[in-house]
Amino acid sequence: MINKKIKVLIVEDSILFVTILKEILVKNNHFEICGIVKNGLAATEFVSKMRPDVITMDINMPVMNGYDATREIMSTNPTPIIILSANIDETDINDTFKALEAGAVAIIEKPSACDSPDFHLYEKRLVQLVRLMSEVKVVRRIDYKNRRREYISRSFFSDTEISNNIEVIGIGASTGGPVVIEKILAGLPKDFSFPIVIVQHISKGFTKGLVEWLNHSSAIPVKLAENNETITKGVCYVAPDDAHLGIIKNTLMLSDSKPLYNMRPSVGFLFASLANNYGNKALGILLTGMGRDGSEELKALRDTGAITIAQDKESSVIFGMPGEAIKLNGASFIYTPDKIINFLEGLNTTKNK
């Protein structure tokens, strides 16, 4: 039996980057480049006729940019879209996160020259990402901001044993995570009474842009975590590029120790830190993402008596990390993003009584 190849549409106006992408994808027997177009308008027209399995989308293009093209495609012919962006260009980065909000499933930096020392690592990451995103069978544009909220009954917090001694909240996410994190932070009140610490897997160079994008809609301030920084309630701290993030005695600790699950920063590093230093005074939340980073450590955190939450399958772009945690019985609760917000609002109300 012959395996069906994954049909890839390349949307890119640079001949150089087209050449590099072709070199990466053509030599991989899993892919077939079904089209190459130079702007977003051409991409929307191509998708309506040819229906590729996955799209690599540039952001800065003539006629129609990648953000507008993503928004159009996701509203008419939903297709997995991977944004390729120049992480040194502020305009590109801003439009990249807007494209994620419009329905793109992942971002990765544009490739460097084929003879660069790290090119083989980039090649491996891109191939894995294209393969995995093509397997997202049903891609829906989830309009988190405008869709009807799901609520947990307020009696839940009085009728169940929900500890009110929580001192810190840790959140881990990978593919699909930025949009969910943006939704959660935007739903929290200004008087939120807990510090939040986040590890988001994202291509190097995009973390600063992520923080800036989150600050546009978050009611609480969002900042890059700094070494030896004391955490403050109502502030959100995001792990910087290429550094693990942990907490000891309300102090953030950055580490350049070896990657965990091939990741640095690692969600597992953060959750292990919470388990070791806070136990049942921490709340751990594991969101959408590929792989299993953080799943065992979420279980270890739950074993200390802490509350742990995993995102549900339906709302996850990739159900890898939360799914693995659920298999291990590492999640106290399995919630949609709306219910995670409601849960945090309930904790805050209880804390402020």
- Domains of the chain listed by start with CATH number: 6-134 (3.40.50.2300), 156-351 (3.40.50.180)
Q: 286: exposed, middle or buried (C-beta count within 10 Å: 0-12, 13-18, 19+)?
A: buried
Q: Give which of 337, 340, 352 is closest to 145, Cα–Cα.
A: 337
Any idea what DSSP says for residue 350? Answer: H
Report pTM: 0.92
pLDDT in tens, the chain (353 residues): 457 899 999 999 999 999 999 999 998 889 999 999 999 999 999 999 999 999 999 999 999 999 999 999 999 999 999 999 986 667 778 889 999 999 999 999 998 777 778 888 899 999 999 999 998 864 455 554 555 566 665 555 554 446 568 999 999 999 999 999 999 999 999 999 999 999 999 999 999 999 999 999 999 999 999 999 999 999 999 999 999 999 999 999 999 999 999 999 999 999 999 999 999 999 999 999 999 999 999 999 999 999 999 999 999 999 999 999 999 999 999 999 999 999 999 999 888 77
User: Which residue's structure tokens are 């106290």?
Assistant: 332
Query: How many C-beta neighbours within 10 Å does residue 68 have?
Result: 18
Contacts (Cβ under 8 Å, ≥6 apart) of 180: 144, 173, 287, 288, 311, 315, 337
Give CA–CA dist 41/64, Å, rounded: 5
Instruction: Show which residues are catalytic.
Output: 174, 201, 293
Give CA–CA dist 30/7, Å, rounded: 9
